[in-house]
Structures are given as structure tokens and as C-alpha cells.
Amino acid sequence: MILTRYIFKTMSFGLVMAVLLLLAIDVLFGLIKELNDISAYYTLTDVFFFVLLTIPSKIYELFPVSAVIAVVVSLGALAAASEFVVMRSAGVSQLKIAGMMLVALLVWLVPVTLMGEYVSPKAEQMAQQFRNEKISAGQATSVTHAVWIKDGDVVFRSNKMTRQPETDRYLLTGVTVFELNNQQLVRVSEAEKALYADKQWTLENIKVSVFSEHGVHVEHNESQQWQSRIEPRILNLSTTRAKYLSLRDLKQIQRFNTRSGSLQSAYQMAWWSKMAFPLLVITTAMCGMLVLFGHARQAGFSQRLVVGMVIGILIYLMNKTLLNLGEVYHLPPPLMTVVPPAVICAVAIMILRGGIKRF
């Protein structure tokens, strides 16, 4: 029990330091990137506020790298001081030491995972919305370019969406609705603007083109009611990158796509990626343990720091590469998100148990 608390204290200190180190580097690069977009509407204060809102998502995304750095650096200090030798002499196996390390890591993993589900998605969406509003001089809420979304046989397009705070209504401009029948275009409705209220859209100054065997019939209407499952919330979610959505948001997108077809590959990959996140963190930490019980325990602080960062970055890049490959080539999400870290973790456990000899 005393040993577990000691390792937890050491691991926690290293983990906090690793998170702060990576966060400082990422925030610095984020600030440098945003400085290029400073204008009369998007000021330096706005840049700092935007970067501040993105911090939760950065912590969540970089946590696997932070975990392996904490293992190699903080617990590596124990190994360098021969404290691991004392533990091994007392009958504590490598696998048991790894288990105590994982217990300490899981204590931090739970709040980080919850933050990734409830805090970082909302903060990231607020950050993007705030940035778009400032850059577009307060004209757009979350969409600065045309957005396309499909609902069954209806394809919806809009140039821009604006929220009216005084009435809590949403206004779209440059709206086009394409209606299909058996994969054939039968109707196109072009509206100057569309107002969403009382769970329905009101299209104003609308031009309707109806396609038939006899040609195209065009008519103009001042306004027209249009009921659709495409709501402002769905439009906001569809314009947000899948990796910044929570599991609840992804579930809502999935329910919306039930009638339209299967969930898009990007959303499926994001769903499985979030589900496999704890496994990814554990895998990176186990890889750090392998290095820790190797030659890295005799290295200095700077060497252990470099080793930890290299391991974390390699696994981070491997994970991102697999996610992109799976999204582009429509590969099974579990194969891209669960299998690789599970295999690496299993091999690491076998090595720690002595089932596989180190190179």
C-alpha cells in the first residue's frame, strides 16, 4: 500500500509536468498560427481567448503522449536511483510495478476522459464559433462557407447561418434544396433566406424549378413552409470536425443518418477512436515501461525526456495515420482503432512477464 502511494505520487507529479510541458508547446504554436489572422475585428485579446477555449481539447488529445513521458521521466528517476532494484529485491515483479503505474494512470485517465466527453467538445465548438464570428465581423455563427447535408432524398445547401439573439431564431442565406426521386433530380428550390422557428423552416423569396419529361417548370413564391429533420443543431454538428464531437453528438448524428443511410466514415472513426482512447493511453504507458526497464533507466533526465517524447509522438502519429487511412479507404473502425493498441499492449505485457525476450 505504501509502495502504491509512493508510485502514485511520483507518477502524478510527472504526469502533471508532462501535460504542462506539451500544453505550453502546443499553445505557443497555436498563438503563432492565430497571429496571422489578427485584424480590426479579430484582435490579440480575441486570439488569447480563442486559444484558451481550445486548451481542454489539447489536453485530451495529447494525454497519451503525456502518459508515456510521465512514465519514462518520473519513474525513470526512480530507476536511475536504483529504487526499482530495491523493489525487485523485495520480490516485486516488473508486471506488478507496471500494474501500480497503471492504477496511478487510471486515476487521472477517468477525469481526462470525462473532460473529453463533456468539456472539450463544447469548448472547441465555442472556440470555432467565436473565431468565425470575429473574423467575419459578427456575421456568421459557425459556418463561414457553404454547407451541404443530405436527408434521405433531400440535399440541403446553405451559404451562411446566423443566430438572432433577441428572438433565438436561426437565419440562413443562400439556401438551395434539391429533391430527388429514384436518384433523379425532380425539384430545386432556391431561397434568398430561410428562417427556422417552431421546428420548421420558412423559405422567403423562393424560386422553384420542377423537372419533368416535358421540361422545366419555374415558379416564384414570396414564402413557403418547409418541414425537415435538418435543424440548426444538426447543421452546427455537421460543420464541426468529427474528432471534436462528443459521443452524444456523434449519437445524434447517427440517429439523423438512420434514414439517410449508414453513418459517414469520419463519424464512425471518431466514435471508435473515443471508445478506444483509454486503451491507447494504457498502451503508450506500457511502451514507456518497456523502455524504462531497459537501457533508459541508466540515462539522464534529458535523455529520458527525449525517449519519452519520441515514443509518444511515434504512437500518436501511428494512431492518426491509421484513423486517416480507415476514413479514406472505409476500413473497419475497430481494426484501425482497437486492434493496433490492443496488440501492442498484449506484447508489452508478455515482455514484462518474461514471455518474450527483449532485443
Domain boundary pick from 229, 258, 283: 229
Same domain flag for 124 and 149: no
Same domain flag for 115 and 49: yes
Task: Write out pLDDT tens, residues 221-246.
Answer: 888 888 888 888 888 888 788 888 99
pLDDT of residue 72: 86
pLDDT of residue 140: 47
122 in any annotated domain: yes
Same domain flag for 113 and 53: yes
Segments of the chain with pLDDT less than 70 = 137-145, 163-168, 258-263, 294-301, 355-359
In 3D, which of 306, 287, 305, 281 has the Cα closest to residue 351?
Answer: 287
Burial of 328 (0-12, 13-18, 19+ CB in 10 A): exposed
327 in any annotated domain: yes
pLDDT of residue 283: 94
b/e for 150-176, b at 16 or more Cβ within 10 A? bbebbbbebbbbbbeeeeeebbbeebb
Same domain flag for 75 and 123: yes
pLDDT of residue 358: 54
pLDDT of residue 241: 85
Round to whole Å and give the CA distance between 26 and 330.
30
Round to whole Å and give the CA distance between 54 and 124.
5
137 in any annotated domain: no
Same domain flag for 120 and 152: no
Cell numbers linked to 263: 453513418
pLDDT of residue 196: 84
249 in any annotated domain: no
pLDDT of residue 344: 92
257 in any annotated domain: no
275 Cβ partners below 8 Å, 6+ apart?
247, 337, 338
77 in any annotated domain: yes
Round to whole Å and give the CA distance between 20 and 128.
23
Same domain flag for 286 and 314: yes
Same domain flag for 280 and 321: yes
Domain boundary pick from 178, 203, 229: 229
pLDDT of residue 141: 47
- Looking at the structure of the chain, the number of domains it has is 2
36 in any annotated domain: yes
Same domain flag for 93 and 194: no
Sign of CA dihedral 207, 168, 140, 23: negative
Same domain flag for 195 and 287: no
Record the pTM. Answer: 0.84
Same domain flag for 151 and 106: no
159 in any annotated domain: yes
Where in the sequence is the domain holding 162, given as residue range(s)?
Answer: 143-229
Same domain flag for 286 and 214: no
pLDDT of residue 355: 53
Domain boundary pick from 167, 200, 229: 229
Same domain flag for 122 and 6: yes
